[in-house]
Amino acid sequence: MWNIKIADKFIIEKVLSSVDSRLFDASYVTLDTFLNHDLLKLYVAEREDELRLISYKERPDGFGRDARILFKKGLDDTDLIKSIDEFLQPGYIAYNCLLEKSENGARVVANDELIIDLATIANLISPRIQKEYRRAQQAHPNLKTKLYDSSDIPAVKEFLEKWKSDVISKKAYAHIDNDLYYLNNYAHTEVSIGLLVFEANKVVGISFLLIQDRGFCISVINKVLRGYHELGTYLYVEKSRYMLSRGFKKSNVGGINNDFKRKFDLNGEYIKLYAEEVFHTEKFIVSDKGLSSLMR
């Protein structure tokens, strides 16, 4: 049987050492930021020299719990599923972030993560990117970009509250908990690089990236205020130029959940990730979107 316990940083990094480092979740920081606080916890299942990382969520309304086994699926994980069932008693179990599709007939969905080519974006190779970047410059000629440092925390927090208020005013769902968690725990560390876009003395856009190995980085936060048309494209270009100047060549921008990111795919690469449902109780049914929700 498998032994299941809360995963510490050492265990998480040990699991990640065997995971494709190009993935968005192939970093302790991204896992901790998005999957290891509030209602979410990271567990590890151990058996001899085998390790499995498990994301566990207890819903705020008390209706059900779900467990997601990340990155790896064994040939026969019956004992693992039984151990998870006994220890966590979830109403739902699935595999997430698999690089290979299962052929066992289970319900499987696929999502794409995009790795952009920084030189292509920085040099405005795409006519669409060039046009939107120029329009942003024309509409907002006083934009200034600077590197984030700890003295910017009050301005960034003010920006996040403004962003949240604007989104909610449009009757859309918005939360900034993950952003604040990252800001308070990792934004000031040596593995993080932040870029801020100012107009006058106001922050109007933010971007934070994580440094990975071999000229590779992960884009973890990208937000701009409403009303600043094409500023999202402007921010992508500016951060690509900075990261290129630092010797980076590629960046994972996360799961493709909207058309905005797709316009940056020229000379880029898609990584297809699969999610597979193991079982759910009669009342605990998750949609395909929910099944793949760990893929950003």
Residue range 76-90: average pLDDT? 91
Kindly state whether residue 147 falls inside one of the protein's structural domains: yes
Same domain assignment for residues 26 and 168: no
- Three-state SS at 35: helix
287 has a pLDDT exceeding 90: no
Instruction: Read off the tokens for 13.
Output: 């990094």
Q: Are 133 and 233 in contact (CB under 8 A)?
A: yes
Q: C-alpha 228: how far from its chain's center?
A: 24
62 has a pLDDT exceeding 60: no
Convert the pLDDT of each residue in 108-128 to its tens digit: 999 999 999 999 999 999 999
Kindly give the interhelix angle for 9-16 and 28-35, rounded to the nearest 10 degrees: 120
Convert the pLDDT of each residue in 1-29 to its tens digit: 899 999 999 999 999 999 999 999 999 99
Which CATH number goes with the domain that contains 216?
3.40.630.30
Percent of the chain with pLDDT over 90: 75
Can you tell me the distance from the alpha carbon of 63 to that of 293, in angstroms, rounded to the nearest whole number? 18
Q: Name, in order, each residue with C-beta under 8 angstroms of 12's C-beta and a sequence gap of 6 or more.
A: 28, 31, 32, 42, 44, 53
Which CATH number goes with the domain that contains 83?
3.40.630
Can you tell me the distance from the alpha carbon of 102 to that of 265, in angstroms, rounded to the nearest whole number? 27
- Specify the DSSP element, H or E, that contains 79: helix 78-88
**Closest to 209 in 3D by CA, of 236, 233, 184, 229:** 236
φ and ψ of 50, to 5 deg = -100, 145
295 has a pLDDT exceeding 70: no
What's the pLDDT score for residue 14?
95
Kindly state whether residue 119 falls inside one of the protein's structural domains: yes
Kindly state whether residue 296 falls inside one of the protein's structural domains: no
Angle at 103 between CA 99 and CA 106, to 5 degrees: 95
- Three-state SS at 222: strand
Same domain assignment for residues 108 and 227: no
φ and ψ of 115, to 5 deg = -105, 115
Same domain assignment for residues 216 and 81: no
Percent of the chain with pLDDT over 70: 97
Same domain assignment for residues 244 and 277: no
Same domain assignment for residues 47 and 176: no
Domain count within the chain:
2
Same domain assignment for residues 136 and 102: no
Instruction: Read off the tokens for 228.
Output: 């600043």
The pLDDT-based confidence of 282 (bands split at 50, 70, 90) is: confident
Same domain assignment for residues 139 and 65: no
Kindly state whether residue 118 falls inside one of the protein's structural domains: yes
Mean pLDDT of the chain: 91
Convert the pLDDT of each residue in 119-161 to its tens digit: 999 999 999 999 999 999 999 999 999 999 999 999 999 999 9
The pLDDT-based confidence of 284 (bands split at 50, 70, 90) is: confident
The pLDDT-based confidence of 63 (bands split at 50, 70, 90) is: low
**Closest to 294 in 3D by CA, of 69, 72, 81, 116:** 69
What ranges make up the beta strands (E) of 39-189? 40-47, 50-58, 65-70, 92-98, 108-117, 143-147
Residue range 75-100: average pLDDT? 91
Domain extent, residue 170, equals 113-269
